[in-house]
Structure 1
Amino acid sequence: MNILILISGLVAITVGETQQQQQQHILVQELHNTFRLFDVNHVGHLSVSDFMAYYDKLTKGFNGTVNLDAYTRLIHLPPDIAKFYFRYYDMNDDGELTKDIDIRAVFHMFDHNHNGQVSEHEFVAEAIKIHQQMAKHVSPTSLEFIGIDGNGDGFITLTDFQKFYDSYDLNHDGQIDLQEFIKSSHLDRATASKIFHFGDSDHNNVIDKQIDLLALITHYDKNGDGKLNYQEYTAYGNNLRALFVTPVGK
């Protein structure tokens, strides 16, 4: 996961409190893993040079300066999330991210005790704070997308969907029946039933992680590349949410 993105699988689809706690735990664990990934010298802290080295890697070919359009292309995030992070890290509000000004300032933002180093605790704490702010300003569809897009490449594949649905498959048989879905999602029966039957493409009262999820991708994969981009996933999300919209006059 990318130091400048600082996001992970906190999915925004309607879930109960228990599942939200599980997702928060996943977020924290991924942030710890991210810290260790970028602590290349294994010294237990990050320096400003670590932040700048990653920025150089991210912006290779852009001479260290990127605008919003370039940043959005580089990090493979939904447009509203990319815009949030860009503006958050554009410390002098000049419409550009630069290494010597903005990234240095980002480092100091993470360095809570101002000792010139970012500890693992500081990194995780600041990243969670930023993530929570981001979640308040972007669409639920975007949060769902980054939660399901396991490798952060900007696409949702069958494998991504299958991993997402693993938590609902309580007996690990590759299929999810309605009772499993209700129990694992912590939703009320009426809400869970609507979502479940939306995903049960062949109407056989189970969501098969191969058959039904492949059918879902095939249906919304308008460009035929075998995966869903953000626009294609948005169409799926809009249709799912339409199940819960009360018709006018009722």
Structure 2
Amino acid sequence: MGVTAPATGAPGGTPGVYSNTHYLLLGELLERVTGTTAERYITRNVIERAGLRDTELPTGPHVDGPHSRIYESWFGMIDPPRDYSVYDMSWVGPAASLTSTVTDLNRFYAMLLAGEIVSPSSLAQMQRTVRIASQEGRTIDYGLGLHPMEGADQGAFWGHGGTVWGGGALAMIRADGTRQMAVAVNLQRWNKLDSSGRPGPLPSTRHSRRSTAWRCTADQRECVRYARPPGSARRIGRPP
């Protein structure tokens, strides 16, 4: 589907456009060069080499071991949010099917910037950036699987984020390796679309006395919406 879509610009033009299709093509290239699947090569040469104990590229819809459930709101159009905890992401291949933990993500980025995953020259290539349009519609600097971010009074960080149906993660590490963080969320696109069809700002409780959230049973058959004034929680309704 990606290669049959209309071109977004001339090859090499700026800004470029971020797309998972690029990573699918890289996976195909990796298989041609190594003679094995991208999943096997990444598992052997990255995941196992880095000692990532809870990271894998699943071959089916289930995630092994304890894990959080994930829910998709799709800008309020899926109400209540749908449970995507059991979902086969193999259709995107190595572009977005990897599962991990924040502990493993922090370990990976610390080793990457320390030169323990790729050589210093390869890391320098990863950090050589060009301007691209991100999936959020912003123009950012982007390298080879890395992009720089600025932390408040903390200087430059390197990392990456991503989302799938219901789940998302962001991991970053300061350029000098002294600070890092990884965040995972289990509800996606809970903001609304504005009149132009673009995602609006995320709901904030800073200017509101009340926020709401859905609490769902594991099988998604029963969901209850809770209002949350400061310091309390009470049930205010049940969807049909």
Q: Shorter-chain TM-score: what band? A: under 0.3
By percentage of residues, which structure has more helix?
Answer: 1
TM-score scaled by length of structure 1: 0.24
By percentage of residues, which structure has more strand?
Answer: 2
TM-score scaled by length of structure 2: 0.24
Greater relative CO (CA pairs within 8 A, separation 6+) = 1
